[in-house]
Amino acid sequence: MARLPRLSIPGLPHHVLLRGNNGQAVFVDDDDRRLLLDILLAYAAECTVSLHAWVLLPDGLQLLLTPQTADGLSRFMQSVGRKYTRQFNLRHGRSGTLWEGRYRSTVLQPERYLIPCMVSMDTLPVRSGLVSEPLAHVWSSHAHHVGRVSDRRLVAHPVYWQLGNTPFAREAAYAARVAEGVSAADAQALGQASQHGWVLGDAAFVEALQGQADRRLTRAAAGRPAGSRKGRDLPLD
């Protein structure tokens, strides 16, 4: 089955996955990780992308961001991937590709899925067996959102601001959400939508976005396409 064109909707949050080629490690040491974060900061400004959350894993990274232009996300990811690959290869005396190819992403309905996405990202190192609790994984934005550090790369999304009227209240409320963890249903929905490029939101949200896209936004319904007749080999559309 052909891959759907990647979807980018200005002004809405996108959950983005980028992985190493064939599952290979994309970081050798902490200098590599700091380099990648510096590149994220530089190109976020250049490509007018607001970065809300991030997590680095041995074989890749996940980002939560909002592009401000239709091509902002693609320009940002291409620039980050190419710049980091060049610097990584130079540092470690290697050549060739580093990433698996296409980044994967989904557009999120912010009121429903922004906080669950952040929680999923912050708890992923725990669920992956890398650490015992989120704060132990220093290579994520979790410490920023619970008030332990200040990360100048990040722009708070309005939905995060709605967690409380003061910084302390927001940080405490978010820490409580992380302690609860992400539900199995939300984790599955986030993973599948990001892998396949589907929009993640309720029916009204998806319907409102359909007019801005020239491709389907959710998984196609199983079974015979609507309007097809018995004995036809091809769908009518």
**What are 192-213's pLDDT values in tens digits?**
998 888 899 999 998 888 776 6
Q: Which of 55-59, 65-69, 125-129, 214-218 has the lowest mean pLDDT?
A: 214-218
63: helix, coil or strand?
Answer: strand
Q: How far lies 169's CA from each of 40, 103, 113, 146, 174, in Å?
A: 28, 35, 20, 10, 8
Mean pLDDT of 108-132: 97
Average pLDDT over residues 58-73: 96
Pairing of strands 104-107, 49-57: unpaired
Of the CATH numbers 1.10.3720.10, 3.90.1150.10, 3.20.20.330, 3.30.70.1290, which one belongs to the domain with range 14-203?
3.30.70.1290
pLDDT value for 208: 86
Query: pLDDT higher for 197 or 183?
Result: 183
What integer pLDDT is reported at residue 237 of this predicted model? 25
Residue 230 has pLDDT above 80, yes or no: no
Q: In this predicted structure, what is the pLDDT of residue 4?
A: 56
For residue 203, which amino acid is it? A
Q: 76 phi and psi, to 5 degrees?
A: -65, -50
Is the pLDDT confidence value at 228 over 50? Answer: no
User: In angstroms, rounded to a whole number, what is the distance separating the alpha carbons of residues 75 and 93?
Assistant: 27
**pLDDT at residue 88 is higher than 80:** yes
Q: CB within 8 A of 153, min separation 6: which ones? A: 37, 40, 41, 44, 51, 54, 141
Share of the chain above pLDDT 70, in %: 87
- The domain locations on the chain are 14-203
User: Which of 51-55, 147-151, 213-217 has the lowest average pLDDT?
Assistant: 213-217
Place of tokens 């949050």: 13
What confidence score (pLDDT) does residue 209 get? 85
